[in-house]
Amino acid sequence: MTGWGPYGVVLAATALTTLVATGVWRWFAVRRRLVVPPDERKVHAVPTATLGGIGMLVGFGVGLLVAWGTGDFAEVFGASTEPLGVALAVVVIHGVGAIDEVRKSMGSPSYLHDGLSAPAKMAGMVLAGSILSIAGVTVLHFRVPFGESLGFGDLLVLSPDLSALVTVLWVLGMANAINFIDGLDGLAAGIVAIASGAFFLYADLLSDEGLIDGTNIGPLLAVIVLGMCVGFLPWNVHPAKIFMGDNGALMLGLLMAAATISVGGRSSDPFSGQTFFFYAPLFIPLVILGVPIVDTAASIIRRALRGSSPAAADKDHLHHRLMRLGHGQWRSVVILWLWTALLSGVVLYPAYTGEGNAVVPFGVAALGLALYTLFHPGVRAARAAAADDD
């Protein structure tokens, strides 16, 4: 893989551009009243600018152009149509999210009901995933742990039609996972920043072992996503000055899907003597992005049991539950950031050391974080106040 220096240049260019572009857009959004007003489902107290994903989109474009212009990523840009396909898919899914946000922000007083319908948003995400597949960013094969014992082999090679389907489903899952978790200031951007940084380190390790080559676009996308989040976070941490909106959250989800597909869906060679994560790299994002994925799965199951639509809004996401426990916005966000970092460590440390027992310290850290989450003094105070009210 290209040395870390060129990736650092792309990271810096993307982060700085996103930082500046988001500030400019916020100034425009406030004056055009493109804001999210407070309501019973939101946790912010004042109207806040939205569509911050536009600043991230500009950062993405500049990061991709800088990578192309330096010549250090000639193999990536010269080998296939994948960079163009990713760019087109990003524009499509960003456009779908932007239309939804504009309709909602202009739909007051019925703010919660004037966005795009769930089928329309789903169709846009399917279109973006299909563009990725057509451009070559697609799941080709993956290893299945214990596949031999289950009778179908440990390496699954997908047919073109099944490959396209799996790719679209992967995009749908990732995009919705990031969109669902985007409920507190800085939460989604921070989680994706940690996850993309961890995934870049993992891709670098795969490259060192010869399991992916210089034509793979995954590491470059991971660095660009990291730069987008780093540049956006100063505007988005509590108290947020601007929200990324559905356009930003869906875009981040698609880019993480493209990066993980490029790395995990292409690595067919086993790497004996190493950890489970080298054996089955497509499982990596399921661990690193465990927080939003678990939250999304729980939301779908919860709403199905209630008989409501999977897209129906509620206040039972992980971050809402943390706040009901007595954690404020900032502490709830930090707790979920720490869980993401912890899950990333579960993947990276054993992979770098080759020692399966390296997960033990992370198990201890997970227990400590769980105890902190449940028994922090703020939680006890909230429970005492609730008991008094009863």
Residues annotated within the binding site are 179, 246
Give 281-337 as a DSSP string: GGGHHHHHTHHHHHHHHHHHHHHHHHT--TT---S-SHHHHHHHHT--HHHHHHHHH
Question: Could you tell me which of 356, 196, 156 has the C-alpha nearest to residue 276?
Answer: 356
Sequence-distant (≥ 6) Cβ neighbours of residue 88 within 8 angstroms: 131, 135
Residues whose CB falls within 8 Å of the CB of residue 55, separated by 6 or more in sequence, listed in order: 18, 19, 20, 21, 22, 23, 24, 25, 26, 231, 232, 235, 242
d(CA 223, CA 228): 9
Q: How far apart are CA 384 and CA 185, in angstroms?
A: 27
Phi, psi of 242 (to 5 degrees): -160, 145
SS3 at position 174: helix
List Cβ neighbours of 360 (8 Å cut-off, separation of 6 or more).
none
Cα 29 to Cα 9: distance, rounded to the nearest angstrom: 30
Distance CA 345, CA 186 (A): 21
Q: Which residue reads 């993307």 in tokens?
A: 14
Q: For the chain, give me the number of helices (H) and strands (E)? A: 17, 4
Please check whether residue 190 is in contact with residue 235, taking contact to mean a CB–CB distance below 8 angstroms. no
Binding-site positions for Mg(2+) read 179, 246
